[in-house]
Structure 1
């Protein structure tokens, strides 16, 4: 029987080397509702926040911090006239806020800070939708449900136009606004 070739020995060595260097299991800290341990109560407020399962070392802290930017942008739109606001955009903000507020109470650990941000996002969206609908109602002297249907039809026509001719929609958006 012929001895194994040196190349075969090299293949075996390189395979075991690759397995030992690059295929090590990833060690992650997994926490669930059953294994999460509350920080000791004898710590000061900062230490409890730092060691908390929703503290600054986790995404549960940073997601609401950055989402405040969306809320503050929506609040800054209160200064804009109602005719320049988008109904679909504000309906989306309202729906997002409502859905994620509920979800914040379902996930573990329960994140009240994120729930508060999402609730305020819902409030901002609902306020803007109310402003838009009342503006359209004041122009046409119609009721809210009628105005909501008309606004939805208008937004639907805009969406259909974008679907039919996306390049034309981009050109319209890029065109300078005439004063």
Structure 2
């Protein structure tokens, strides 16, 4: 509350220098207001002018940051076509975390930036999809490696059995020759 009083004091002091009688006005008189002329002007502006002059309008970083950040989302979507073994888990986990954190932040800050919140939400979704693909690929690889180990074990056992049978046959032939 004290910052508002200080700001009013500065505005009134500026007005006092222009109008020498301002400090001596009667109690209850209207003070100098900056917003009275802006309110009428806002009603007369076109939709483009309101967008242009908005706190999150086209001439601010609040508009251009989300526009540029869509490139990250598009790059993530294009990675859906890449095989999961070529994707980076740390990079996609970072995209997922960044998207989640900044989506929340964009809804808290003033002015609330819905464009930036939307792009961060989709960035988090793309990261989550990629991380899920990577984990499913890794799980599939561990399952297939267990199956591969079982196949190798069976082949080794079959090979040892065949070798043992061959050795047994050779020993039987040697015993028959010697008798």
With the length of structure 2 as denominator, give the TM-score of the two structures: 0.56
Match of 1:54 in 2: 56
Aligned ranges 1:3-152 → 2 under 5 Å: 40-141=42-143
Q: 1:57 deviation in Å? A: 1.1
Query: Aligned-pair RMSD on alpha carbons?
Result: 2.0
Shift of 1:42: 4.3
The answer for unaligned runs of 5 or more in structure 1 is 1-34, 143-179
Structure 2 CA distance for aligned equivalents of residues 93 and 46 of structure 1:
33
| Deviation for aligned residue 1:43 | 3.1
Unaligned runs of 5+ in 2: 1-34, 145-179
SS of structure 2 residue aligned to 1:57: coil
Cα distance, 1:85–1:47 mapped onto 2, change above 3 Å: same
The match for 2:23 is none
User: How many pairs align?
Assistant: 107
* Structure 1 residue 98, shift from structure 2 partner: 0.5
Q: 1:128 to 1:41 in 2, by over 3 A?
A: farther
SS of structure 2 residue aligned to 1:141: helix
For the pair shown, which has the larger CA radius of gyration, 1 or 2? 2
Q: 3-state SS of the aligned residue for 2:42?
A: coil
Cα distance in structure 1, aligned partners of 2:80 and 2:43: 43
Q: Distance in 1 between matches of 2:64 and 2:129?
A: 26
3-state SS of paired residue (1:40): helix
**Cα distance in 2 for residues equivalent to 1:41 and 1:100:** 33
Aligned-pair CA distance for 1:75: 0.8
Distance 1:42 1:75 in 2: 42
CA shift for structure 1 position 44: 2.8
